[in-house]
Amino acid sequence: MVLELSGEYLIKLENITKEFSGKRGRVKALENINLEIKRGEFVVIVGPSGAGKTTLLNIMAGMDRPTKGRVIFAGRDYSDLDEEELAKLRREKFGFIFQFFNLIDSLTAFENVVMAALPTDLPIREINARADELLAEMKLLAKKHRFPKELSAGEQQRVAIARALINQPEVLFCDEPTAQLDETIAEKILNDLIAINNAGTTVIFATASETIANKLRRYATKMVRLEFGKIRNIETLRSV
């Protein structure tokens, strides 16, 4: 049995501020963000374009460093980790899906999925088996040898999901994953993500779409509203 001590969080953001220096001076992309996410949560981050959603995801995932504040993942403070250690953490613990699928055009669906596991020390047979299993779950086994441009947008996003899951991440970060998809396909992708969360993976989902946020409202554990780099409010919808 896993004891979840109260006050014990998988990801904790403390007073995160992020500034970028641009041509017209410094831009404050995030200001004083405090957020605690427990294992197994499905967190929706909603806010208009430019609110800071991608910046927040990047900082949570250790892809970018905050100007001020701390990020703690499973008790580890990112500021204690060097770039190589952070990269290892990302590779082993996190999966990512994006608006523009980011698949490699010259590789097949299967190869795109396998690629993500090559830096690990898993035996290639295990990697191939996992890739097949994930592509089967995504209903893509019959199309595994197709190249991204021979797949529909929804199918490409499912390849990207399989790729994100191959290293069995603890957290799946989703940055506008349905923005390029029509409504029915978007809904299928949302259902896939809900199933992934049900199976135990923590999901953090950013969107500028109120429609998508509303669809997830019935399922999400938390709804975080971001505006001008600040948290406007956090709604707790259910506990994990």
Site for ligand ATP contains 20 (CB under 6 A): yes
Query: Minimal CB distance to Mg ion: which residue?
Result: 54
Count the residues of the shown chain that bind ligand ATP, applying the rule CB under 6 A.
13
Residue for token pair 């500021």:
79
Query: CA angle, corner 210, sides to 29 and 31, nearest 5?
Result: 20
Site for Mg ion contains 156 (CB under 5 A): no
Among 47, 54, 71, 202, binds Mg ion (CB under 5 A): 54
Decide: 67 and 21 in contact? Cβ < 8 Å: no
Stretch that binds ligand ATP, among 20-28, 118-126, 130-138, 186-194 (CB under 6 A): 20-28
Report the candidate in 86, 84, 45 with the shortest Cα–Cα distance to residue 66. 86
Distance CA 45, CA 204 (A): 7
Site for Mg ion contains 55 (CB under 5 A): no
Among 3, 6, 24, 49, binds ligand ATP (CB under 6 A): 49
Q: Token pair of 163, please?
A: 């790729």
DSSP label at 121?
-
Distance CA 202, CA 69 (A): 23
Q: What are phi and psi of 35, to 5 degrees?
A: -155, 140
Decide which of Mg ion, ligand ATP, none touches 233; Cβ closer than 5 to 8 Å per partner kind.
none
Site for ligand ATP contains 26 (CB under 6 A): no
Residue number, 53 or 93, with CB nearest to ligand ATP? 53
Among 9, 37, 46, 47, binds ligand ATP (CB under 6 A): 47
